[in-house]
Structure 1
């Protein structure tokens, strides 16, 4: 063979498209991908499980804004990655999973080959936005073009490419490829209509989702021009920290619902209006929204909720256009007062227990300014998702909304640290969730990453136990024994410290940990759930 293999060419295509890191565990079904990796300039990070590879790619994407990429083997490698792909789809996170698959002639035959699935491509298509096979050497360029076009247009999410063993090893044959046509921009008439409605309204409220988290400057100018409170979903937290118009509280809270329902015009920017943000208490309905204007890059998403006006485009394109169309004079509608009243009511509504959890989060934020805080489903994360004002746009994310996969926090924090080596990353994970992916900490050791793994140890699944008790079900299965985390940290070769469940104590230990070169672990001992005795 005089040229390069398809596997080598695929790696070269990824590098050409600004991929600088892949997360993967090499296997016999991905050897040809690794042939081209060593000299490609792409960093390779080895997780301890393919689920970890997917969650690392997710964390990388959220921190960088670029697609996170995972290399996995045929069969179990792909099935182990389906859960991270589902989380990425629920939270609109761009991810590319590249897998091997058995030889072309064997597919679907049921011969019993190693790692064989009846229909691997079809299985991936149940979760991925797009799943394609490179069935011939000449198909590489067109497939990669289509995949990356899909990742850059419409609602982000996971995509999948599979390469049969025989095709991966075949000689690459360049094929002409016509990139898909760019998506047209929003109709200027719709922008003008939206501007008129916003200018005429007396009580505008802005809802922000993950689609707005990278447009902080424009959003601030828009909110100040309209004098409009901004309600943040979980994936928008960190925008405009401390600003008087910000309401960093869940739109599921009654107090925030009242703010939204009092508006005479609601502008929803990059949010799917999903129930894990807008109806987490399962009431069966979200807030009534008068004069709803929705902006979203996904046309399908815009059709799922009735709105007075929809604009199909990226939020970062629409905000400048709206500002140009709005009157220059700033509105005076008591926006800051409305936001302050909503914040105070929301703070009161979350209750004493969650207020203490948020005070801990505030202490963490102030101890390590501008950190990336990555979480799993655990008490302080639940509390923060209800009410917490982070100090970095895009710096607060977790898997307690959307798909809600446990085991996310540790590997996602590692991916985030790879994406932004200048940031301090704090991973907040419960003792239960930590046991889903604890071995992934060794990847942080291998890469010497500045991640502080904060284990919130209340000896069990407190949220589930409380839910069972509240509906009269005998609490069972919610008290798995945690490991000795001090001994675990020692076995990983990383510094360990402990703290009591108190804001100042946690902040003091955390400040010391941030001076450590590389990963460290902090165990916070929280009150254990004790079922009521009726």
Structure 2
């Protein structure tokens, strides 16, 4: 049967394991949509292209597969760029497929609908961009696209197809051969094991690249008797384990633990400022003697290290495990001391942080095993500094790295679609909600078990406090909040408003719910 390029592209996505597409159709992508009926792909319609890409992000983080978004040429793609940049900052695999104007018009400045001077060049400043400019290019370009998604450090990838190429006849796609995972270099593994075996006191730094390596991480940590410090994107690993330190390396207590180590093992972490020095104080412990594991050779080269292992965290840990000498020192005691000191440190940073953390813990306790997807809001900041989630990969947000406001609703919807039936909490401030309020209607359309918890302090409280601390007159920080009960009704969502107390929030979350709902926390 003859297929158009657009139809064959959709079939090629299906053959590579894609199950869901988030997108808003337009005249430049109609041929892609011709391929969707009967393809077996689920299509979810967001309310904005940024929301589509945020949904792809949340879907990818939870499923482990690339999230896919369809957007139109020009404004559709530029709307998605913010979410693509967030995905790049957090190493999230995302494929954004767009149209582009007809081939002969590109770069000509003809004033066509949705025209950009050079769409692909604009995107290449952020991530790889590929083009299909003839039907015979479909198969090799798809292979390149998925190689970029599946090898090295994950991140966003863009694919564009000119409008005059999409309807051309194309051959059905071939079933691709699965790529074999790259094994770590045995020599590097042996060197890493020797360094760790001769250390009296090891500390492990686990980043987002380790979030699917819980079993191997626990085995190595116990073998080395090593406390495990979790960055934001690794939270949920080793929940409640005596060696777990779910505290930011930006805290003095965590830094003291790291400084006292004879050797640091860094797993899947870029050692970025928003995790390791969010207050820009400098004086981080010297890590030049660390053993560093990362998928990306460029990332490995960015910091001094005694040994570098280019590998996925799970593969590296499993290769290391049989070479490590068991020891039993005082790792659990060191971890307990660091946990207690880090939690106590929160009150010195901001007097409200202990309460904000207690509210986050109330969410975890009310819905055990839920995914908590955060936006940039004060309880999320507190949780990023210290919080032990109860599910690997179950705590993530946009308040580190790129820091995009409005991330939460879309990402929570994508996460819920990736994990059918699992409770999802979107924790967002009243200010951040207004960046992407319309996406809540998508949760209603899809009948997803997402609870939108809105921390309502009637403005941008965190920025207002930063202005005050800097002796700058507070300006622009009091956008009027939505009338949330009326807004929830407009979205056909059940609504509850509670005082900012853990017991009140636990009771509201524990109430039976069969679909999406909105809970307001009156934070004052």
TM-score range, shorter chain: over 0.9
Are residues 1:353 and 2:352 paired? yes
Which residue number in structure 1 is paired with residue 41 of structure 2? Answer: 42
Which residue number in structure 2 is paired with residue 511 of structure 1? Answer: 510
Assess if the C-alpha contact under 8 Å between 2:14 and 2:41 holds in 1. Answer: yes
Which residue number in structure 2 is paired with residue 383 of structure 1? Answer: 382
* 1:158-189 C-alpha deviation (Å, 9 max, x unpaired): 00100000110100046999989867532211
Query: Runs (4+) of structure 1 moved beyond 3 Å?
Result: 173-184
Identify the match of residue 323 of structure 1 among 314, 321, 324.
Answer: 321
1:46 deviates by: 0.2
Please list, as runs of the form range in 1=range in 2, the aligned pairs for 1:131-530 lying within 5 A after superposition: 131-173=129-171, 184-289=182-287, 291-327=289-325, 330-351=326-347, 352-512=351-511, 515-527=512-524
Q: For 1:259, what is the secondary structure of its paired residue? A: helix
TM-score, structure 1 length as denominator? 0.96
1:105 deviates by: 0.7
Higher mean C-alpha displacement, 299-308 vs 178-187: 178-187
Unaligned 5+ runs, structure 2 = none
Please list, as runs of the form range in 1=range in 2, the aligned pairs for 1:51-62 lying within 5 A after superposition: 51-62=50-61
Assess if the C-alpha contact under 8 Å between 2:378 and 2:462 holds in 1. Answer: yes
1:288 deviates by: 1.7
Q: For 2:259, what is the secondary structure of its paired residue? A: helix
In the aligned structure 1, how far is the partner of 2:440 from the partner of 2:425?
A: 13
Assess if the C-alpha contact under 8 Å between 1:263 and 1:289 holds in 2. Answer: no
TM-score, structure 2 length as denominator? 0.97
* 1:387-436 C-alpha deviation (Å, 9 max, x unpaired): 00000000000000010000000110000000001310000000000000
Please list, as runs of the form range in 1=range in 2, the aligned pairs for 1:64-83 lying within 5 A after superposition: 64-83=63-82
Which residue number in structure 2 is paired with residue 124 of structure 1? Answer: 123
Q: For 1:167, what is the secondary structure of its paired residue? A: coil
Which residue number in structure 2 is paired with residue 531 of structure 1? Answer: none
* 1:91-134 C-alpha deviation (Å, 9 max, x unpaired): 00000000001101111100000000000011111112x11110
* 1:486-519 C-alpha deviation (Å, 9 max, x unpaired): 000011111000110010111101111xx21110
Unaligned 5+ runs, structure 1 = 528-534
* 1:222-253 C-alpha deviation (Å, 9 max, x unpaired): 10000000000000000010001000000000
* Aligned-residue RMSD, C-alpha: 1.4
* 1:13-71 C-alpha deviation (Å, 9 max, x unpaired): 00011100000001000000000101100000000000000000000000111000000
